């Protein structure tokens, strides 16, 4: 069950739109067997009437089609702890004698719920001209599409896994979302937290953050230059900061990158210990992806959309889309001239 709160009334929302994004999460070179089992669909249960949101919480149900396989015997106890997973800390923290209790909840299966919620946020943002997309920048040591696929094939053949770098971009973001006065509302910090929360993500950068160490200050800042457009009397030569300054959006596209690690469940399992006996064993293996960078991009879009939608509604408020639009348009009509004359 997915519950999304804070969406104003009169947003057109249909299940097909959400299904489109859920489908994107399931595709991608390097995904494992589970994606053949599940064709995700979010059934809207509450908060929408005749295709339009009501302003009340939106409840969506995503069935787990894998459930029948569990009834037929896959539900066995696991004690051969896998390094790189929630297995060991989860068992210790909750006093579990069966690693499966934490293994399944920590699984990226939960990201289907994030993508469904993120699709609602994306739909809201689209009403205001904000669009998100993502792409894989590199897999393993390669940044060219064919070679990336070869990296996945090589890892699969070796019974191993491979990670990658993913970029998420939001275009059409208005200037001034977030805050420079509240550390917990800084938009770059919120985006980083949201992306870091994706399973297996180990590093996040905003804009070209990872590349700045070999540059001087003059080479990194996004120089502001005048233009003659009365609605927007300034422009940027570059977008190295990735669309944020001082914890606020700067009016240029938001760009964030993240590294997703090579996943920890290996066909050739790593050495480990048994939870019951403490004896050396090979870590548990079951159905697993080889590379999850492509779906991680879709999940990254969802997470960025959720953060942006929150910041957007915090700034513009409103109980219905027309009210939010009035607030938004009023603000947009003033920011250009204000910047110019202040």
Ligand X SMILES: Cc1cc2nc3c(=O)[nH]c(=O)nc-3n(C[C@H](O)[C@H](O)[C@H](O)COP(=O)(O)O)c2cc1C
Binding site for ligand X (CB under 6 A): 32, 84-86, 106-108, 111, 198-200, 261, 263-265, 288-289, 292, 295-296, 299
Residue 86 Cβ vs ligand X, minimum distance, rounded to whole Å: 5
Q: Would you say 156 or 236 has its CB closer to ligand X? A: 156
Nearer Cβ to ligand X (249/265)? 265
Structure tokens at 244: 């944020």
CB of 130 to ligand X, least distance (A): 24
Query: Considering the complex, what minimum distance in angstroms separates the CB of residue 82 from ligand X?
Result: 7
Longest distance between any two alpha carbons in the chain, whole Å: 74
Q: Which is nearer to ligand X, 84 or 176 (CB)?
A: 84
Nearest CA-CA partner of 256 in 213, 309, 201: 201
Burial class from Cβ neighbours inside 10 Å (0-12, 13-18, 19+) for residue 1 reads exposed
**Shorter beta-carbon distance to ligand X: residue 8 or 28:** 28
Q: Is the dihedral of CA 174, 179, 184, 186 positive or negative?
A: positive
Q: How far is CA 150 from CA 131, 211, 313, in A?
A: 31, 26, 43
CB of 247 to ligand X, least distance (A): 25
Containing 136, the helix (H) or strand (E) segment is strand 131-139
CA dist., res. 141 & res. 163, Å (int): 9
Nearer CB in complex with ligand X: 84/174: 84
DSSP letters for 222-245: --EEE-S-TT--EEES--TTTTEE
Q: How far is the CB of 136 from ligand X (least distance, A)?
A: 12
Two structure tokens written together for 21: 């994004």
Closer residue to ligand X, CB minimum distance, 188 or 289: 289
Rounded to an integer, what distance in angstroms lies between the CA atom of residue 191 and that of residue 172? 16
Pairing assessment for the beta strands 58-62 and 2-4 based on DSSP bridges: antiparallel
CB of 75 to ligand X, least distance (A): 18
| Residue (61 or 196) nearer to ligand X, CB | 196
110 Cβ neighbours under 8 A, 6+ residues apart: 199
160 neighbors 264 (Cβ within 8 angstroms): no
Q: Say if residues 66 and 159 touch (Cβ distance below 8 Å).
A: no
Residue closer to ligand X by CB (options 24, 315) is 24
∠ CA 317-318-319, nearest 5°, is 135
In whole angstroms, how far apart are CA 225 and each of 208, 220, 222, 342?
A: 20, 15, 10, 16
Distance in Å, CB of 33 to ligand X, minimum: 9
Give me the least distance between CB of 240 and ligand X, in Å please.
27
- Least Å from the CB of residue 233 to ligand X: 42
As a whole number of angstroms, the distance between CA 3 and CA 1 comes to 7
- 103 DSSP assignment: H
Q: Which is nearer to ligand X, 166 or 321 (CB)?
A: 166
């Amino acid at each position: 069950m997915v519950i999304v709160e804070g969406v104003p009334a009169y947003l057109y929302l249909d299940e097909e739109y959400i299904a489109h994004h859920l489908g994107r999460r399931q595709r991608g070179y390097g995904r494992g067997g589970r994606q053949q089992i599940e064709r995700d669909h979010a059934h809207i249960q509450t908060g929408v009437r005749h295709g339009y949101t009501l302003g009340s919480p939106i409840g969506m149900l995503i069935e787990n089609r894998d459930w029948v396989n569990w009834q037929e015997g896959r539900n066995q106890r696991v004690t051969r702890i896998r390094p790189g997973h929630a297995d060991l800390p989860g068992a210790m923290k909750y006093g579990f004698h069966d690693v499966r209790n934490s293994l399944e909840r920590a699984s990226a299966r939960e990201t289907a719920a994030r993508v469904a919620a993120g699709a609602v946020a994306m739909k809201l943002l689209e009403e205001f001209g904000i669009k998100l997309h993502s792409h894989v920048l590199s897999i393993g040591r390669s940044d060219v599409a064919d070679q990336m696929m070869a990296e996945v094939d090589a890892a699969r053949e070796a019974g191993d896994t491979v990670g990658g770098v993913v970029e998420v971009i939001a275009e059409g973001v208005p200037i001034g979302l977030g805050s420079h006065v509240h550390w917990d509302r800084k938009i770059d910090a919120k985006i980083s937290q949201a992306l870091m929360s994706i399973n297996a993500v180990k590093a996040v950068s905003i804009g070209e953050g990872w590349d700045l160490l070999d540059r001087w200050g003059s080479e990194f800042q996004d120089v502001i230059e005048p233009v003659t457009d009365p609605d927007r009397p300034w422009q940027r030569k570059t977008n190295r900061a990735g669309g944020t300054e001082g914890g606020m959006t700067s009016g240029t596209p938001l760009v964030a990158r993240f590294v997703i690690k090579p996943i920890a469940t290996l066909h050739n399992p790593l050495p480990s210990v048994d939870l019951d006996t403490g004896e050396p064993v090979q870590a548990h293996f079951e159905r697993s992806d080889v590379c999850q960078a492509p779906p991680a991009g879709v999940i990254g879009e969802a997470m960025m959309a959720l953060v942006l939608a929150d910041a957007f509604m915090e700034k513009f408020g409103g109980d219905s889309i027309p009210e939010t639009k009035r607030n938004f348009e009023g603000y947009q009509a003033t920011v250009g001239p204000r910047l110019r004359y202040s």
